[in-house]
Amino acid sequence: MKQNKQYLLLIIPALIVSLAFFLLPMAKLLWLSLTEQHGISYWYILTKPVYLKSLGSTFLLSAVVTITSLVIATIVGLFLTRHAFRGKSILVAMLSFPLVFPGVVIGFFVIMLAGRQGLFAELGLALTGERWTLAYSIAGLFIGYLYFSIPRVVLTVMGAAEKLDHNLIEAGRSLGANRWQLLRDVTLPALTPGLISSGSICFATSMGAFGTAFTLATNLNVLPMTIYTEFTLNANFAMAAALSLILGFITWLCLTIARRQGGSSLGMGG
């Protein structure tokens, strides 16, 4: 009918943008990764230690970061929802800022904290007479990834904890459960969907974080850095395409899990 045509008119711009600048490039990327050098890139990724190591270490780092942020953020998030104190709202607002900081800036913050002239270095100098420089090692990356992961989980935990039915806690207490039992049997199960969802978003963001690794220029070859090197230094477009598609597939998988758990995809930093 006439009206349906008008509705179609509304999405034509979105369709054009999406087709021309997203679907077409992605298809081309897939095509290139499969046809150039007869798709040997995928074989190399599976067999050459350089790529396997890059994939493995990125995976490991992201997993450790995710678990650490979940633990830290659950403690902080629960504390912030349960207790009211002055300045809390400002604190919570500030906690959400790092969500949209670009990776490069977070990398710079790591330098400020743990670089050669950073806070930790001064601290180490005062305490042991030795400058603690963590920024350019795997520890620096870890700090950086934690920096953009913690806020996301804290906000999710706070959201879930605020929705938590207080009667459940009271019911548990009336039945004689102690604090740990309540945490284990009531609070954590209620937070689980949120934790899974924000955990998978953290993992995906960490896997794809380029800016932080780029700024810290560590010797550690995380996947986005490998892709970048393949593309610029080795001019191996097929390999870069294959690697970035694998990376894209992993992050897409994580976000699908997150969406299944009802989590909204907050802005990707890193």
Partner 1 sequence: MKKGMSFYFQLAFTLLVCAFLIVPIFMSITAGLTNNYFVGVKSGLTLRWVYQVWGLYSDTIWLTINIALVTTLVNLCVGVPCAYYLARTRSKLSAFLDECLTLPIAIPGMAIALGLISVYGGISEFRMSWLFILVGHVIFTLPFMVKSVLAVLQSINFRVLEEGAASLGASFWQRFFHIIVPNCKTGIVSGVLMTLTLSAGEFNLTWMLHTPLTKTLPVGLADSYASMRLEVSSAYTLIFLGMILPLLMAAQWLNRKPKRTA
Number of residues that bind partner 1 (CB under 8 A): 84
Is 208 a residue that touches partner 1 (CB under 8 A)?
yes
Is 107 a residue that touches partner 1 (CB under 8 A)?
yes
Largest CA distance in the chain: 80
Which residue's CB is nearer to partner 1, number 47 or number 264? 264
Binding mask 81-100 toward partner 1 (x if CB under 8 A, else -) reads --x-----x-x-xxxxxx-x
DSSP 151-208: HHHHHHHHHHHHHS-HHHHHHHHHTT--HHHHIIIIIHHHHHHHHHHHHHHHHHHHHH
Is 67 a residue that touches partner 1 (CB under 8 A)?
no
C-alpha to C-alpha distance for 153 and 244, rounded to whole angstroms: 26
Residue 154: CB minimum distance to partner 1, A: 8
Site for partner 1, residues 111 to 170, rule: CB under 8 A:
111-113, 117, 119, 146-147, 150-151
Is 178 a residue that touches partner 1 (CB under 8 A)?
no
Single-letter code of the amino acid located at 111: I
Q: What is the DSSP letter of 118?
A: S
The number of helices, as runs of H, and strands, as runs of E, in the chain is: 14, 0
Contacting partner 1 (CB under 8 A), which of 187, 197, 236, 244? Answer: 244
Is 247 a residue that touches partner 1 (CB under 8 A)?
yes
In 10 A of CB 174, how many CB atoms? Answer: 9
Which residue's CB is nearer to partner 1, number 220 or number 227? 227
Tell the residue number behind the tokens 């974080």, with chain if given.
209
Residue 235: CB minimum distance to partner 1, A: 12
- Look at residue 78 and give its three-state secondary structure: helix
| From 49-57, 60-68, 126-134, 209-217, span contacting partner 1 (CB under 8 A) | 209-217
Contacting partner 1 (CB under 8 A), which of 37, 167, 184, 224? Answer: 224
Is 180 a residue that touches partner 1 (CB under 8 A)?
no
Distance of CA 222 to the CA centre of its chain: 14
